[in-house]
A and B are shown apart, each in its own frame.
Chain A
Amino acid sequence: GAVVSQHPSWVICKSGTSVKIECRSLDFQATTMFWYRQFPKQSLMLMATSNEGSKATYEQGVEKDKFLINHASLTLSTLTVTSAHPEDSSFYICSARDNTADTQYFGPGTRLTVL
C-alpha cells in the first residue's frame, strides 16, 4: 500500500528554537496533505490543510505564524514549529491524500518534546 513517512520520528529541543517536521508521500503524489496534533491520551485534532503550491488553510485557534506549513512539491509538506515552547510538546501526525485513489494515508508521527 501507499506509504507516508515523517522525519524526524522524534525530536527534543530547547524552548525558543524552531523545529521542522517533514511529511513525504513515498509512492504517490499528494496535492493535499493534512497536519494533526495529538496530546497524550487524547484524540487527533486537525491543525491545517496543506495544498501544494498555495497557502495552507488553518483550523480555528491554530496560529499560522507559529506553525508554518510549506507544501512545495507533490510529495513533500513541512511543518515548522517556530519559537517552540513546552506547551507545543505533542505528537504531530501528517496524512496525505492520494490524488488518484482518493484515499488518505497517515504518517507514523513525530514526537516533539520542548524543554
Chain B
Amino acid sequence: AQSVTQLGSHVSVSEGALVLLRCNYSSSVPPYLFWYVQYPNQGLQLLLKYTSAATLVKGINGFEAEFKKSETSFHLTKPSAHMSDAAEYFCAVSGTSGYALNFGKGTSLLVTP
C-alpha cells in the first residue's frame, strides 16, 4: 500500500520568498510520486511527477521536487513565490504509473505581498 503525508495544512510565504511544501511517502514498492495544484473550484493540474528517472524533477511554473529515498521525502520547492502561486497543493503516490492515486490532505499556500 502507498500513502503520503503532507506536513503543514497551511503555509504562508512572502512574495519573492522560497516556497517549501513538505511531503513524505510510504510505499511497499518503488513509488510514483506527483504534485498537483488546485485553484478554487477547479480540477487538478499536474505540476510534476517522479517516475524513477532523475531524482530532481522540474515541473511547470518554476516548481521542482527532489526524491530522497533515504528520507522517504518528495518536497516541493520554488525559489521565488508569486502571488499567483496561492492555491491548494496535493502530493500523491501510486504504486504503478498511470493508476489510481492516493492523495495527501493538501497544503494551502498563501502568498502575502
Contact A102 B97, beta carbon cutoff 8 Å = yes
User: Which of B42, B44, B99, B105 touches A32 (beta carbons < 8 Å)?
Assistant: B99
Interface size range of chain A in the complex? 20 to 34
> Could you say which of A61-69, A75-83, A107-115 contacts chain B?
A107-115
Out of B43, B100, B106, name the residue touching A49 (CB < 8 Å).
Answer: B100
User: Judging by beta carbons under 8 Å apart, are B101 and A46 in contact?
Assistant: yes
With A103-B97, A104-B101 as known contacts, state yes or no: A109 contacts B106, CB within 8 Å.
Answer: no
Please name all residues of chain A whose beta carbon is closer than 8 Å to the beta carbon of B43 when the two chains form the complex.
Answer: 6, 93, 106-109
Residues of B within 8 A of A (CB): 36, 41-46, 90, 97-106
A sample of 27 inter-chain contacts (CB < 8 A) reads A6-B43, A32-B98, A32-B99, A34-B101, A42-B106, A43-B90, A43-B103, A43-B105, A44-B101, A46-B100, A46-B101, A46-B102, A49-B100, A93-B43, A97-B98, A98-B98, A102-B97, A102-B98, A103-B98, A104-B98, A104-B99, A106-B45, A106-B46, A108-B43, A109-B41, A109-B42, A109-B43
**Other 15 A-B pairs with CB < 8 A, given A43-B90, A106-B46, A108-B43:** A32-B98, A34-B101, A42-B105, A43-B104, A44-B101, A46-B102, A93-B43, A95-B101, A97-B98, A98-B98, A101-B98, A103-B97, A103-B98, A104-B98, A109-B41
